[in-house]
Amino acid sequence: MSMINYASREINCKLVYYGPGLGGKTTNLEYVYNKVAPNSRGKMISLATETERTLFFDFLPVDLGTIRGFKVKFHLYTVPGQVYYNASRKLILKGVDGVVFVADSQLNRMDANIEAMQNLYENMAQHGYDLTRIPFAIQYNKRDLPDASPISELQSALNPGWPVEDPARQRVTVDPNRPDEKLVDVADGQWIERAPYFEAVALNGDGVFDTLKAISKLVVKTLG
């Protein structure tokens, strides 16, 4: 989880972009890297496999302020999308503070999305993490393509919600990004919570920073 560097007065937080192969994880990170100020980011490191790259870089956002006098630095990672790199996926999740699941909206990629989401839950559990209790957001990428699945179908398959057992959290919670939708609500007599979601076209940057800002704020909230 987050690491405190007293010498530089920084809290270091790890964000991992997870999802199926070629869904847009790398595109998200490259867009962010190219848009943030050069003096606020570290070097981008790329570990290439035969089919995909794992990227990493850190940056210091200027708009989050400080927490108890410490600046918050985010370390952004992607994971390999291919199943046979699962050991790498699992390793990258170690010490994670927040997760963004990047789903490929194309109809023919639904099975790959579901498989990657199940794999995420499994790998988090093996680290002893509960994905439903840490900062987590979903990005539905490639919304500009003609064969993009309806959001309702993506939500049903990837973000159906999980039971809220804690009475303190059993209250209707409006999605701050969509005032007409709820993150926590009652369905069939059961309190259910869903992850916030964002629509994106990562190639041109649509939704990229909306997703990043949301997950960053969720992480910072856990530090306060």
C-alpha span between 100 and 14 (Å, rounded): 11
Residues 148 and 180 in one domain: no
Is residue 149 within 8 A of residue 107, CB to CB? The reply is yes
C-alpha span between 78 and 72 (Å, rounded): 20
Residues 24 and 42 in one domain: yes
Q: pLDDT tens digits, residue range 55-112? A: 899 988 867 777 888 889 999 999 887 666 788 888 899 999 999 999 999 999 999 9
Residues 140 and 207 in one domain: yes
Q: Pairing between strand 70-78 and 66-67?
A: antiparallel
Q: pLDDT tens digits, residue range 202-212? A: 999 999 999 99
Q: pLDDT tens digits, residue range 173-183? A: 999 989 999 99
Residues 63 and 115 in one domain: yes
Residues 122 and 172 in one domain: no
Residues 184 and 92 in one domain: no
Distances (CA, A) of 99 to 39, 76, 155, 160, 195: 25, 10, 17, 17, 11
Q: pLDDT tens digits, residue range 100-153? A: 999 999 999 999 999 999 999 999 999 999 999 999 999 999 999 999 999 999
**In this structure, what DSSP letter does residue 62 have?**
S
Structure token pair of residue 76: 């952004």
Instruction: Check whether 49 has a pLDDT greater than 70.
Output: no
Q: Which residues contact 50 (CB under 8 A, 6 or more apart)?
A: none
Residues 170 and 100 in one domain: no
Q: Which residues contact 87 (CB under 8 A, 6 or more apart)?
A: none
Total Cβ atoms within 10 A of residue 155: 18
Give the range of the structural domain holding residue 137, as residue numbers without chain letter.
Answer: 3-159+195-223
Residues 42 and 141 in one domain: yes
**Secondary element (H or E) of residue 106:** none
**In this structure, what DSSP letter does residue 169 have?**
G
